[in-house]
Structure 1
Amino acid sequence: MAEQPPLHRLYRHYSELPYSQRVLYTMTLLVLGLGYMFALLYIFHTYAGRGTGNKMMLSYEDLVVAYSGSGKGSRLESALRGPMSNMLPADETSAIIAWVQQGSDRAKYEKDVKPTIDKRCLGCHDGSNPHLPNLSSYDNIKKVTEQDTGTDVFTLVRVSHIHLFGLTFIFFIMGLMFTHAYVRPVWLKCLIVALPYVSIVLDVSAWYFTKLFHPFAWVILFAGMLMGASFAFMWVVTMYQLWLSPPPAMVAERLGGDTAIIG
């Protein structure tokens, strides 16, 4: 077996850290893991079934419809069938969709649609939030009954900066804890630290490109899976080496065989 390169002078394994720092890492991992799980559930709920109607699976077609539109129905119809599907009773949703498909007649709006919109939607869509469609009048609703072209560019810009900042902080924290892990070869460890950032850039960039060329939706799927796999690998390795695995031989040798450091 080839001889391993010596440990870097600044490298500290988890077994060399004080217990207070190890507990801090552990609690951070638990909360981040819980948060990541809820984020995945939210993404699944938001996008699954947008293109195929199958809410039990997130597919390529769902992402194409979400980012570039169906090219058939209206934005309002896509929202009612997708992320807003649980906000209205099924009969009221069907009535609004039928009104849209029949041409969005104003008289029928005043009689059948407006009462539902006023009751169910205006709490959020009253025009006070510039990032949500304003549904407070017929003219405003008419704008979202036009052909569905997917998420608009300015919404993507708003969500992009949130993702870029938020995920960068999350993976900085994860990566910082993971740097204490003993993983060889070192280039593999560096690759694992870098992969989430590559995934973030691929994911966000593909949102825009999917509007121009649908196959970029595969990049969104691939980047999301790569990001999730990186998170899971760093989480499991960090938690395992924090508490369950014995210190590597090179670390134990450096400590003179005494790894019970308490601080």
Structure 2
Amino acid sequence: MTDGALHRHYLHYSELPYSMRVLYTAALLVLSLGYLFALVYIFHTYAGRAGGSPNMMSYDDLVVAYAGSGKGSRLESALRGPMSTMLPPDESQPIVAWVQAGADRARYDKDIKPVIDKRCMSCHDGSNPHIANLGNWETMKKLTEQDTGADIFTLVRVSHIHLFGLTFIFFIVGLIFSHAYVRPVWFKCVVIAVPYVCLTCDIFSWYIVKVFHPFAWVTMGAGAVMGMSFALMWLISMYQLWFSKTPKPVAQRSGAETMIVG
């Protein structure tokens, strides 16, 4: 891993045909858009879960998401957190009062269900398996039980989706970034490897937070570093793909200051 002569198998972007450079660029653009939407979804899902501002995601929000609030039901946490803007206070407060009073079926049918049908069923109609179906009494009853955060089965399901999905994403981005000329080489290798370390820490932290709340800082830190690694690889790759000059060692190896590509 020295910084001397270029590895015989190393190819800089300037040595690649334009067709491959266009392919890399298109992949980076689409992946960055997907990553941006993922960040928006994460923010919308977790911000305000602890009852704070829905415009800011905090340590307490992550603790409530994974370990539960310990102070009420999941339905109450949702109405006071991410769903607080979906219902006016004069409709959400009676639902909270109904939950705290024992969540009896008779009052649900008379007073609560009409509000749920009016405000919630456009999304919570059962068409999305990842969102609670509020159209049946059994689900509603479970949501009125004490909030213990995401259950283990849910974490396992989300874990394998994240592990497979993000591994493919960072493999593609890392493969493209491997063509970048970055020195020292060890730093380049660290940037490529860090997202996988952060991904593993992030996934395992979800389970640990359920029993040790301060580990939520690991969740936040791992996600932040993973995002910075993605941004760094993306920016360097895009810059060297189209805007930077051919690095001198690459040009000298090929005997030309400007590479001819096609």
User: TM-score scaled by structure 1?
Assistant: 0.91
Q: 5 Å matches for 1:1-263?
A: 4-122=3-121, 125=124, 132-263=131-262
1:22-75 C-alpha deviation (Å, 9 max, x unpaired): 111111111111111111111111111111511222111110011000000101
Is the CA contact (8 Å cut-off) linking 1:46 and 1:82 kept in structure 2? no
Separation in 2, partners of 1:92, 1:217: 33
**Cα distance, 1:242–1:223 mapped onto 2, change above 3 Å:** same
How far apart in 2 are the matches of 1:205 and 1:62?
18
Q: Distance in 1 between matches of 2:98 and 2:119?
A: 16
CA shift, 1:130, in A, is 6.1
Percent of counterpart pairs with the same letter? Answer: 68
Deviations 1:61-105 (A, max 9, x none): 110011000000101111233344454455332321221123223
- Aligned AA (1:24): L
Structure 1 residues 113-148: Cα deviation after superposition (integer angstroms, max 9, x where no partner): 022234444566566766554544444422211111
DSSP-derived class of the 1:212 partner? coil
> Contact between 1:127 and 1:135, CA under 8 Å: does it hold in 2?
yes
CA distance in 1, matches of 2:16, 2:40: 34
AA aligned to 2:27 is T
Q: How many residues align?
A: 261
- Please provide the CA RMSD for this pair: 2.1
Range 220-229 or range 117-126, more displaced: 117-126
Moved more, 174-183 or 91-100: 91-100
- Listed as ranges, the gaps of 5+ residues in structure 1 are none
CA distance in 1, matches of 2:97, 2:111: 11
- Where in structure 2 are there 5+ consecutive unaligned residues? none
Q: State how far apart, in whole Å, the 1-side matches of 2:40 and 2:136 are.
A: 33
Whether the 8 Å CA contact 1:16–1:261 is kept in 2: the answer is yes
Q: Give the partner amino acid of 1:26.
A: T
Structure 1 residues 76 and 245: CA distance shift in structure 2, 3 A: same
- Cα deviations across residues 185-242 of structure 1 (Å, max 9, x unaligned)? 1111111100000011000110011001101101100100110010010001001111
Give the drift of 1:262. 2.6
TM-score, normalization by structure 2? 0.91
Residue type matched to 1:175 in 2?
G
Contact 1:74 1:146 in 2 (8 A): yes
- Mean Cα deviation higher: 166-175 or 26-35: 26-35
Structure 2 Cα separation of the partners of residues 213 and 100 of structure 1: 28
**SS of the residue 1:53 aligns to:** coil
Q: Please say if residues 131 and 155 of structure 1, whose CA atoms lie closer than 8 Å, have aligned partners that are also in contact.
A: no
**Equivalent residues of 1:16, 1:259 under 8 A apart:** no
